[in-house]
Chains A and B, each alone.
Chain A
Amino acid sequence: MIVPMSTVLALSAVLFGIGAFGFLARRNIILMLVSAEVMLNAVNLSLVGFSQHLDDLRGQILALFVIAVAAAEAAVGLGLIIALNRNRPGAGVDELTELKW
């Protein structure tokens, strides 16, 4: 045990908070997705920390699946952004009001 578990979890919590702030606050839709990636990375960090602490590989396997899902999310999300941008140039989420009732 080199790195204490609580430090890893605290760091993960701080990174997740930063990512959540970015996701909620940014106006640019691409940077919102990137903030989601930051949150996924924070979760991966806590999974790997648990895996090391418990001497159990399941945390790392779960982190691998999280990375796979992040790749899928990035592909679909950026495809949506390209489709959106074709209809309405710009990246601001506050201008996408067509679905607003």
Chain B
Amino acid sequence: MITQAIFAYMAAASVGSAILAVTRKNPVHSMLWVLALFLHMAGMFLLLDAEFLAAVQIIVYAGAILIFYLFVVMLLNLPDEEARPRFGRHWPFAAAVGVSFAGLAWLALAPTPDPDIGRFATPSAVAERSQIGTIAELGEALFGPYALPFEMASLVLLAAIVGAIVVAKRGQLSS
């Protein structure tokens, strides 16, 4: 019961902070609302038995990515940003797209009876799952069967680092 109450609070807070983040005029305020969204999302991950992901959410998303965004917002120095319209002229179209996507997804999940989804869980996965804590299992899976995707992720990050430096530096060299 208390868990459901916590989940209801997390859900309401994350939807509210997401809406505020998308609609605030001042970019810094937007970022702070996104921070609230990320923290509530981490709490939701905790409720859903994903402790490691909750920690990664706070460290990587809230701690690294968001701070990076904030740095760029402050570096760019956009003094007249608040005086300009926050949405493009086509924003009703965008609102229609967002609402219709959420509605479509809602319609798609409405007729699905809940217990039926569980059928696809393989017995071996269930047996693996119930042994120990999630973090140890996650590590074993990442360095076992998912070692190649894991290394590919590090390659993607390396490519992103190199790409970011090249892209951000080129303009400086030419000008």
Residues in A lying within 8 Å of B, measured CB to CB: 2-28, 30-31, 33-35, 37-38, 41, 44-45, 48-58, 60-61, 63-65, 67-76, 78-83, 85-87, 89-94
Contacts and interface: CB of A to CB of B under 8 A. Distances in A.
A56 B65 contact: no
A87 B19 contact: no
Contacts, number: 259
Nearest to B56: A67
Give the secondary structure class of B's interface: helix
Nearest to A69: B156
A19 B30 CA distance: 13
B38 to A, nearest CB: 7
Contact of B3 (A3, A33, A45, A53): A3
B117 A54 contact: yes
Contacts of A54: 117-118, 120-121, 125
Given A20-B97, A75-B160, 4 more contacts: A21-B22, A25-B88, A64-B56, A74-B65
Interface string B22-58: 1100010011001001100100110111101100110
A21 B97 contact: yes
B84 A16 contact: no
A70 B38 contact: no
A85 B76 contact: yes
